[in-house]
Amino acid sequence: MSKVWDMAGYWFSLHHLLQEISEPDSEPNNMKKIAIFTSGGDSPGMNACVRAAVRAAVYYNIEIYGIRRGYTGMIKGDIVMLDSKAVSNTVQRGGTILKSARSEEFRTPEGRKKAYEQLTALGIEGLIAIGGNGTFTGSDIFYNEYGIPTVGAPGTIDNDLYGTDYTIGFDTAVNTALDAIDKIRDTADSHDRIFFIEVMGRDSGYIAIQSGIGGGAELVMVPETNSSIEEVIETLKGGWNRLKTSSIIVVAEGEDEGGAIAVSNRVKKHVPYADIRVTTLGHIQRGGSPSAYDRILSSRLGVAAVEGLMQGRKNVMAGIINNEVVYTPFKETITLKKPIHPDLIRLVNILSV
């Protein structure tokens, strides 16, 4: 694969972000009541993040409420007080105990007004949002209209949010995909087959690139690179010339050439004699008990979100960069692209020979 990478601006911005790691955007405040919710696609580790935020709030003598089903629950007033016991035995659970939903009503001024009325009726002064770009966009608009600050935690398996090295659930999703790739390789080898394995990643190839490297894939196709059908065929023929009888190609769902089915159909036209199969992993990547890394990451981010609100931060995402907690403005998280490091692309090419 080849592509011209403009990484200088990204790494300069990252360096600048680290320089301002501890600077809150206003004076510390004495919040008494906050609320937490999960929104968008679920990811393993969300419960660990909720648990950490609740226990941090209890530690700092702050009342904390849970909003069920994201912005939908905020509008409907589906809000309950949480305590330490309410989040017991949740650190190992996948999914989200607070549930999640996508709310079209919150996109309207009328919906956001209802949400504000529900929050103010309980005296809630700040929010913790666990989610991705859509979640943070909604929080940013909500603050501009009603002044309720939010600190976000990056909850998405795609690992595509600017301002953190890893997002909640990414490590678990990669390991889930890797386990599937290992099993598929056994049957691919037994039958001398080519398998195209589709993993999640509509706009980001992070799951594909890391599970592909870990699973020994012959090729990885991601949205960030200029892959082509011709390159796939060339890679397969190169393997056959080395007497390789089976191959694994990992395809991110957002790949420019199409998903795994579309790519495999086009390849089949050029090599009709090849025995080709397709496996789409789908939502299996969202579920399951979070890995140790995701539990620890989520716990750090949950505590950081509470402490961010206490420090007077608003409209920022708590993240981890170089093992340090950082806070990135929502506007940067939403608009700036986090590219795959070119060394990972290069590694795929080296290891595929």
**What positions carry a catalytic annotation?**
158
Pair 162, 332: CB distance under 8 Å: yes
CA nearest neighbour of 221 among 3, 44, 10 = 3
Map tokens 């909720």 to a residue.
Answer: 50
Identify the burial level of 348 via C-beta atoms within 10 angstroms of its C-beta, where 0-12 means exposed, 13-18 middle and 19 or more buried: buried
CA distance 185 to 326: 39
**Residue 99: left if φ>0, alpha if ψ -120 to 50, beta else—which one?**
left
Beta strands in the chain (DSSP E): 33-38, 63-67, 79-82, 126-131, 150-154, 194-199, 219-221, 247-252, 276-280, 316-321, 324-329
- If you search the block for the tokens 């940013």, which residue do you land on? 140
Structure tokens at 74: 């905020």
324 exposure class (CB count in 10 Å sphere: 0-12, 13-18, 19+): exposed
Closest CA to 204 of 255, 268, 139, 153: 255
